[in-house]
């Protein structure tokens, strides 16, 4: 469990990091908190030739609330910083959701940008981004662009980021005072078997653990918009997903968890 040899680069600016990415191409990986990458490197499942450390780039660790109510979170903001931030009632979902992420040591090192770029389909930040119509701000050699969360997650651990692009921040454009995220796993801190996030005002439901990316469930969302009770919304979502039997978790069980968790998220969001 020691990584293969690699060359370490410390980026001092976003443009510096982007320049390194452009120069080193596919052989390079960006590291911030390292909570997923280092474990994969130790198992030699990931073996980048170059590691570009962005952790000390100044200016990427701010949480800002704009006048127009949008929330901007820098890519290097840690889960723990969000967990302990007062973001007001409109964004209380974000700190609340952080408690589902791993354990405290992981939350103190893992970053928002890293979680989005890693794109685990059960990761809380990925669900939240899709739920809240977040825009992921990426910088590449041609400058900055914004990618809608709906377009960002493209497949298993695959995003719309170009190899020479770096996430610099994520923008949550609208508050969601009546929203909730809940999960089920056997142990606290594990990746969820199923995770469900609900925004009642947007009639939006996003699921983790039922597909390669965070998935919306349009029929359940329609039921929610039509005023269906939480249990009914959950039942529709459970019917709607396309899941298969897997070792240890049958499709039936995953549907059952979906039914329960969507209903519970709807109930929690009303509180």
Partner 1 sequence: MTGGAVTGPRFRRDGAWVGASVPRREDPRLLAGRGRFVDDITLPGMLHAQFVRSTVAHGWIRAVDLDEVRAVPGVVAAFSAADLALGDITALLDRPPHEFVPTSMPVLARDKVRFVGEPVAIVIARDPYAAEDGVEAAVVEYEELEPVVGDTAALADGAPLVHAEAPRNTLVDVSLFATEGIDEVFAEAPCVVRVRSKTGRQNALPLETRGVVASWDDRDEQLHVKTNTQIPHQVRTVLARCAGLDEKQVRVTVPDMGGGFGQKCVVGREEIAAAAAALRLRRPVKWIEDRRDALTAAFLAREQRYDVRAAFDADGRILALDADVVCDMGAYSCYPFTAGIEPLMASAEMPSVYRVPAYRVRGRAVTTNKAPTGPYRGVSRPQYVMVVERLMERAARELGLDPVEIRRRNVITVFPYTGVNGITYDPGSYRESLELCERVLREEGWYDLRDTGRVIGIGYACFSERTGYGSGAFAQRRMQVVPGFDISEIRMDVSGTVSVTTGTMSHGQSHETTMAQLVADRLGLDIAQVKVVQGDTDRITYGFGSFASRSITIGGSAVAAAAEKLGAQLKEIAAHLMEVDVDACELDGDGGVRLRDDPDRRLSFAELADVAYLRAHLLPKGVGPGLSATASFDVPGDGTFSNATHGVVVELDPGTGGVEILRYVCVEDCGVAINPKVVDGQCRGGIAQGIAGALFEQVTYDAAGQPLAPSLMEYKVPTASEIPDIAIHHLETPCAFTANGAKGAGEGGTIGAPAAVLNAVNDALRDTGVELDDTPIAREAVFRALEAHRG
Site of interaction with partner 1 (CB under 8 A)? 1-5, 39, 43-44, 103, 184, 186-191, 247-250, 252-253, 256-257, 259-261, 263-264
CB 253, min distance to partner 1, A: 4
Is the Cβ–Cβ distance between 228 and 236 less than 8 Å? yes
First to last CA, the chain: 45
For 242, residues 6+ apart whose C-beta sits below 8 A from its C-beta are 210, 211
CB 236, min distance to partner 1, A: 16
CB 165, min distance to partner 1, A: 29
CB 14, min distance to partner 1, A: 31
CB 223, min distance to partner 1, A: 18
Cα dist from 1 to 38, 42, 43, 45, 157, whole Å = 10, 4, 5, 10, 22
Instruction: For partner 1, give the closer residue by CB, 204 or 255.
Output: 255
- What residue has token string 């009642």? 200
CB neighbour burial string for 61-78, b if at least 16 within 10 angstroms, e if fewer:
bebebeeeeebbbbbbbb
């Amino acid at each position: 469990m020691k990584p293969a040899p690699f060359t370490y680069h410390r980026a001092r600016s976003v443009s510096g990091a982007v320049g390194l990415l452009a120069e080193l191409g596919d052989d390079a990986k960006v590291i911030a908190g390292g909570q997923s990458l280092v474990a994969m490197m130790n198992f030699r499942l990931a073996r980048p030739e170059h590691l570009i450390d962005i952790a000390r780039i100044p200016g990427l660790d701010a949480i800002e609330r704009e006048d127009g109510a949008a929330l901007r979170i820098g890519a290097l903001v840690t889960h723990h910083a969000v967990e302990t931030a007062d973001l007001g009632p409109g964004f209380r979902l974000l700190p609340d959701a952080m408690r589902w992420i791993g354990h405290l040591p992981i939350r103190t090192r893992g970053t928002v940008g890293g979680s989005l770029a890693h794109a685990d389909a059960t990761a809380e930040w990925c669900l939240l981004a899709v739920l809240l119509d977040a825009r992921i701000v990426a910088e590449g050699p041609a400058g900055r662009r914004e990618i809608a969360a709906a377009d960002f997650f493209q497949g298993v651990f695959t995003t719309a980021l170009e190899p020479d692009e770096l996430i610099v921040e994520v923008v949550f454009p609208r508050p969601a005072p009546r929203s909730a995220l809940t999960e089920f796993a056997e142990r606290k801190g594990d990746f969820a078997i199923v995770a469900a996030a609900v925004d009642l005002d947007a009639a939006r439901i996003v699921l983790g653990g039922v597909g390669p990316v965070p998935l919306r469930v349009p029929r359940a969302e329609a039921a929610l918009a039509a005023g269906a009770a939480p249990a009914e919304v959950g039942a529709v979502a459970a019917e709607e997903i396309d899941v298969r039997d897997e070792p240890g978790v049958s499709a039936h069980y995953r549907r059952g968890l979906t039914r329960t968790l969507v209903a519970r998220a709807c109930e929690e969001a009303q509180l």
